[in-house]
């Protein structure tokens, strides 16, 4: 039954122009229901909708996970910084594509649950911290890709500053009622912004 629901979801993603075979393969490989604790919500794991999780947060709609991942264009050689681990589902998807994923979550409970899930699934290319993600990774370093899974009015300067040469960041920008996904790309001495689709994310804390 789950296979049927998963294949229906993959078909829906393809119908909605998610075309990268690596992203689709990652969505197939990572069991979304494993990242949902509430038993009454597990049957909805493969519906294309956001669902509530602990600490008043959400696990993002699968289409948005796939869309943001595809726009980030993660390659196997890349180190990725994720701001907002949440349930860990998006982190796990990224781990299938990147060399290593560094992820920060401000809520201790979410951090603890996500780390347990990573271990249970054998995802050994993830380093997870509990802390303030708006400041970026605590140790000064550059990342090939950055993904932010919470909304902000403007891209935090500390995150932009951790973009490496030719680096890219996908981030929801704007007020909660009028957010849009933005692609932030570093090109030599400048940083370019491209506005993409409208979304609604919880605010970055």
Report the predicted TM-score, pTM, of the whole model to 2 decimal places: 0.95
Condensed to tens digits (0 to 9), the pLDDT of residues 33-83 reads 999 999 999 999 999 999 999 999 999 999 999 999 999 999 999 999 999
pLDDT digits (tens, 9 = 90+) for 73-130: 999 999 999 999 999 999 999 999 999 999 999 999 999 999 999 999 999 999 999 9
- The pLDDT score that the predictor gives to residue 175 is 81
Angle of helix 62-72 relative to helix 2-15, nearest 10 degrees, comes to 50
Find the mean pLDDT for residues 13-29.
Answer: 97
Cβ proximity of 64 and 93 under 8 Å: no
Residue 28 reports pLDDT greater than 90: yes
Residue that the structure tokens 């919880």 belong to: 202
Q: What are 180-189's pLDDT values in tens digits?
A: 999 999 987 8
In order of start, what are the domains of the chain with their CATH numbers?
A: 2-199 (3.40.50.150)
CB 168 within 8 A of CB 145: yes
DSSP tag of 126: E
Catalytic residue set: 60
Beta strand 179-187 with 163-173 is antiparallel
Output the pLDDT for position 94. 98
């Amino acid at each position: 039954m789950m296979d049927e629901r998963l294949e229906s979801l993959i078909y829906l993603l393809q119908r909605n122009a998610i075309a990268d075979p690596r992203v689709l393969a990652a969505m197939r490989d990572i069991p979304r229901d494993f990242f949902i604790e509430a038993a009454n919500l597990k049957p909805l794991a493969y519906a294309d909708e956001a669902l509530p999780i602990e600490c008043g947060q959400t696990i993002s709609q699968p289409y948005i996970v796939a869309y943001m991942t595809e726009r980030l264009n993660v390659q196997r050689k890349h180190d990725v910084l994720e701001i907002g681990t949440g349930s860990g589902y998006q982190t796990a998807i990224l781990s299938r594509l990147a060399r290593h994923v560094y992820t920060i979550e401000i809520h201790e409970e979410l951090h603890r649950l996500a780390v347990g899930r990573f271990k249970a699934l054998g995802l050994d290319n993830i380093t997870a911290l509990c802390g303030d993600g708006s400041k970026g990774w605590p140790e000064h370093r550059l990342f090939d890709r950055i993904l932010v899974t919470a909304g902000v009015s403007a891209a935090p300067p500390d995150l932009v500053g951790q973009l490496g040469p030719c680096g890219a960041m996908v981030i929801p920008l704007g007020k909660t009622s009028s957010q849009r996904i933005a692609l932030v790309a570093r090109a030599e001495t400048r940083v370019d912004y491209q506005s993409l689709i409208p979304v609604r994310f919880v605010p970055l804390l």
